[in-house]
Structure 1
Amino acid sequence: MPIISAPQEFNEDDLYIDLRTVLGTSLFLKCEGFNFSGSIKLKPALAMVEAAELSGALTPGSILVESSSGNLGVALSMIAASKGYRFLCVTDSRCNLSSRRLMEALGADVHIVTEPDPEEGYLGARLAQVRALCAADPRHVWLNQYTNSDNWRAHYRWTAPPIARAFPGLDVLFVGAGTTGTLMGCARWFKERRPDVRVVAVDSVGSVTFGGPPETRMIPGLGAGVRPPILDESYIDEVVLVPETDTVRMCHRLAARGFLFGGSTGTVVAGAASWLEAHDAGRAGTTAVTISPDLGERYLDTVYQTNWVQGIYGSTALSPQDVTEQAVA
Structure 2
Amino acid sequence: MSKKRVINKIRVQTPERKPEERVKDFNEVNLGYTLELAKKEAERCLQCVNPLCVKGCPVSINIPLFISKILEEDIRGALEVLWSTNLLPAMTGRVCPQEIQCEGLCVMGKIGDPINIGKLERFVADYAREKGIDRELLEEQIKNIKPNGKKVAVIGSGPAGLTCAAELAKMGYEVVIFEALHEPGGVTVYGIPEFRLPKEIVRKEIDNLIKLGVKIETNVLVGKTITFDDLKKNFDAIFIGSGAGTPKFADWEGINLNGIYSANEFLTRVNLMRAYSFPEYDTPIKVGKRVAVIGGGNTAMDAARSALRLGAEVWILYRRTKAEMTARIEEIHHAEEEGVKFMFLVSPKRFIGD
Smaller-chain TM-score range? 0.3 to 0.5
Q: Scaled by the length of structure 1, what TM-score is found?
A: 0.33
Q: Scaled by the length of structure 2, what TM-score is found?
A: 0.31
Structure number with greater CO (CA < 8 Å, separation at least 6) is 1
